[in-house]
Amino acid sequence: DTKIIAESNRLEIFCTPPSAKDLSNWKVPTDKQYDLGVVVSFGYFIPPHIISAFKYGAVNVHPSLLPKYRGAAPIQHAIMYGDSETGVSVQELDDKEFDAGRILTQEKVVTIILTYDLCKKKKKTNIFFF
């Protein structure tokens, strides 16, 4: 779990208020200077006023080989479309679109093998993690 890893490394974590529908009114705490924002599996668009509050902007860790499967549910889409591989991308946050920032690095980390159970005529999914 990302939160457990962050906490074990004594990183501050800021959670979205449960009632928030977007982040247009949310502000980065100003009690100290923050160098970089990191977003992992986050369903809200990060507006420009939040990205610019960090000295070096913000990055997103996305579970696909962008630009393929930008947006929500990239792992599910890779399986649904029968991709033989997928991975993880780290990219700069774009202040206008989801998952459209400059890609900083990518790593292929999962090979997906789809097979069919001919007796039951059902698709079976085997996922191998490397």
Catalytic residues: 60, 62, 89, 99
What type of residue sits at position 43?
A: G
The Cα 39–Cα 16 span in angstroms is: 12
The Cα 114–Cα 128 span in angstroms is: 11
What pairing do the DSSP bridges indicate for beta strands 122-129 and 58-62?
unpaired
The Cα 67–Cα 78 span in angstroms is: 13
The Cα 6–Cα 36 span in angstroms is: 14
